[in-house]
Amino acid sequence: MPKLVVRAFAISLDGYSAAPGQTADAPFGKDGLRLMNWFFPTQFFKAMTGQAGEGETGIDNDIVSQSVGNVGATIMGRNMFGPQRGAWPDGSWKGWWGAKPPYHHPVFVLSHHPRKAFDMKGGTSFTFVNDGIESALKQAFAAAKGKDVRIGGGAATVRQYLKAGLIDELDLVQVPILLGQGERIFEGLGGVEEKYECVAFRPSKAVSHLKIVKKA
């Protein structure tokens, strides 16, 4: 049975997954990219970005390598796709990832403003959904063709699906830093503890990996 999953999603010790002040040069907000310092040395990241050198193996690399397994489509919020707000000014912005994004499958972007879908190199396509999270989920599962659907982020998107009780599994990466402000995925979700439970905890040298699942 295909699932809706969140995988390798980084949060700070105080629960933030992004800092304020997102720009084209700061996709995680001001100083928020520190959340991903555990990820950049991994073998997975170096291979994905074509960097020289083998990269680090171990728990962190295992987690990110497994995060793309059996995923047939991704859902993300508009803030994760780019820093623009309001009506789309034109079609020039096609994401943070360059001409060949790392998804290699259909991606569905939540937006309040319509925009035409487009294809990118490497098998990634972007479709913009402006009629709600349920519509995006229905389209994503259809496109995934029996595989899981992954929520890529950001925090507001994860929070919406959590509030609706639609997420089956979350693999969170708790990074030992304090951001102090920003966006939290669990903000304002009283009662979520009745729907979800933490079933696994795996520390690495850099971070802690937590697996949270929907209760049966």
46-58 tens-digit pLDDT: 999 888 778 999 9
The pLDDT of residue 89 is 87
8-28 tens-digit pLDDT: 999 999 999 999 999 888 889
127-159 tens-digit pLDDT: 999 999 999 999 999 999 999 999 999 999 999
Mean pLDDT of the chain: 95
Residue 186 in tokens: 């669990």
Q: What would the mean pLDDT of 57-75 be, rounded to a whole number?
A: 97
The pLDDT of residue 150 is 98
SS3 96: coil
106, pLDDT greater than 90: yes
Q: What would the mean pLDDT of 109-125 be, rounded to a whole number?
A: 97
82-92 tens-digit pLDDT: 998 899 988 89
| DSSP sequence for 145-213 | TTSEEEEEE-HHHHHHHHHTT---EEEEEEES----SSEETTTT-TTGGGTEEEEEEEE-SS-EEEEEE
The pLDDT of residue 52 is 79
As a whole-number percent, the residues of the chain with pLDDT over 90 amount to 91
38, pLDDT greater than 90: yes
185, pLDDT greater than 90: yes
CA nearest neighbour of 115 among 137, 90, 135, 145: 90
43, pLDDT greater than 90: yes
188-200 tens-digit pLDDT: 999 999 999 999 9
pTM of the entire predicted model:
0.94
As a whole-number percent, the residues of the chain with pLDDT over 70 amount to 100
How far is it, in rounded angstroms, from Cα 197 to Cα 180? Answer: 25
* From the candidate CATH numbers 3.40.430.10, 3.10.129.10, 3.40.50.10490, 3.40.50.10860, the one assigned to the domain spanning 4-83+100-204: 3.40.430.10
Residue 65 pLDDT grade (very low, low, confident, very high; cuts 50, 70, 90): very high
Which single residue is written with the structure tokens 């389209």? 139
The pLDDT of residue 40 is 96
